[in-house]
Amino acid sequence: MDIQLGRAKTARRAYGIDEIALVPGRSTLDPALVDTRWTLGNIERQIPIIASAMDGVVDVKMAVLLSQLGALGVINLEGIQTRYEDPTPILERIASVGPGEFVQLMQELYAAPIQPDLIKQRIQEIKAQGGIAAASATPAGAAKYGQVVAEAGADLFFVQATVVSTAHLAPGGVTPLDLVTFCREMPIPVILGNCVTYDVTLDLLKAGAAGVLVGIGPGAACTSRGVLGVGVPQATAISDCAAARDDYAQESGRYVPIIADGGLITGGDICKCIACGADGVMIGSPFARAAEAPGRGYHWGMATPSPLLPRGTRIRVGTTGSLEQILKGPAGLDDGTHNLLGALQTSMGTLGAKNLRQMQQVEVVIAPSLLTEGKVYQKAQQLGMGR
């Protein structure tokens, strides 16, 4: 329903993940019976969770561990890992600097040139240890390094920016990345994003995307919504983009997964994204809290080091457990940030959803009081859902 903002403008109401709840149906099943498998490109995974391509989240070690645990991690090809042969002292500097010096330090560190040889080396290091090599770059980086990525033997390539479209207008003398040609010529599946609307999703699907990332600005370390004023709350964005996926699948016979990217902290957030229509999710800060994460208890956005207009910050997330605890348990915390797979399986069982497609069909209600109703003691004592 449109809302009248004024005489010259109407607006559509949009909903965030915190404003909705999932409604159990008439049947339930044991969590051990649910099937959480999904396929991205030609890669099948047990867990529909991707670790985002952020320098405080994924390095070679994390990518390998995530692969071993049944998930997936994406390495940032325009970050610390491809600018420095030994990223360790760089990551230690990022973790040790004060808040007032952080942006300037990041701009300095990320001014070092990207080394194509390191792109190749990181991908091959992941492959050599049996991991799935998924890599990410901006459209400009994809145009420059796509061939290197393919030759290195990567399994998946993510082309990511705040917003990616097939109708990008560039200044004179600059040739924008042709997404149709790029997807067609790359020998590996290409995932495109980010977007938040039906029309752009449909354009990206028609361009040949093997997956579409949904989300602008909801990430824990992202400030795009404050800096640019741009974004659509995730529940609405996912639902709109999933509608484009379904219409495209009916028209073309090709089903392409939609990935909710950003703003997800707990297992419940993941469950609600899939119920809104997502096939999988991409998360950053929950994995940045792993003991094995490269960020040393810190997490920062991909656009944080921008030399002109930073759209991210560094947040302290701490270290709460091992990657396995966070992903598969056993949980050491009571706030929904550990055993994300177990939360998804239990939610699906409670809702009677045998697989992800059935999970996408469960009833959703608008419930702004979902996270506060009856939680006065937790909030007062900063426990559980009150943290």
| Catalytic center residues | 222, 316
Q: How far is CA 307 from the centre of its chain?
A: 24
Report CA Rg, the chain.
20
Nearest to residue 61, comparing CAs of 374, 293, 385?
293
Helix (H, G, I), strand (E, B) or coil at 160: strand
Nearest to residue 18, comparing CAs of 369, 382, 384?
369
- Rounded-to-integer distance, Cα 8 and Cα 11, Å: 10
Nearest to residue 74, comparing CAs of 82, 83, 66?
66
CA distances from residue 64 to 315, 336, 385 in whole angstroms, order as listed: 25, 24, 32
Using CA atoms in the order 53, 55, 57, 58, what is the torsion angle rounded to 10 degrees?
A: 70
Contact 317, 242 (CB under 8 A): no
Helix (H, G, I), strand (E, B) or coil at 83: helix
- Rounded-to-integer distance, Cα 266 and Cα 338, Å: 8
Q: What tokens does 384 get?
A: 């559980």
Q: Is 175 exposed, middle or buried (0-12, 13-18, 19+ CB in 10 A)?
A: exposed
Q: Is 350 exposed, middle or buried (0-12, 13-18, 19+ CB in 10 A)?
A: middle
Contact 299, 222 (CB under 8 A): no
Contact 366, 1 (CB under 8 A): no
Peptide bond into 76 cis (omega under 30): no
Place of tokens 């239990």: 346
- Rounded-to-integer distance, Cα 194 and Cα 261, Å: 8
